[in-house]
Amino acid sequence: EVQLVESGGGLIQAGGSLRLSCATSGFTFDDYAIAWFRQAPGNKREGVACILSSDGVTYYADSVKGRFTISSDNAKNTVYLQMNSLKPEDTAVYYCAATHYRDYIIRFFSTGVFDYWGQGTQVTVSS
């Protein structure tokens, strides 16, 4: 029933830009926080950006502040991640995830336990 489908990944040169999309269905979009996580080989999964759909409040990992922007189109139940000034260290599989807004802050910054997950999209940044 619940689906999160990522798209927009690919191979790009350092300094370039990509826009990831997460199309969602099967849950009440405005009651959830939507986040992007990423995981590179040998690394732990880390939260990249998070948005509270109901009011547009956003959070970012320090490593991407000033370069990445998360946004939502509530009419389309879709979340985007605009990635600018990409670096090789941004290379990872990027996952879209959703969790109820009630405890989304602790889930994003600490536990990483979200209700629903997409399958991921690969982003590779070459030097």
Take residue 85 and report the two structure tokens written for it: 């000034």
Q: Tokens 């600490």 identify what position?
A: 110
- Give pLDDT tens digits along the chain (127 positions): 899 999 999 999 999 999 999 999 999 999 999 999 999 999 999 999 999 988 899 999 999 999 999 999 999 999 999 999 999 999 999 999 999 998 899 999 999 999 999 999 999 999 9
Take residue 123 and report the two structure tokens written for it: 């982003």
Q: Are 88 and 14 in contact (CB under 8 A)?
A: yes
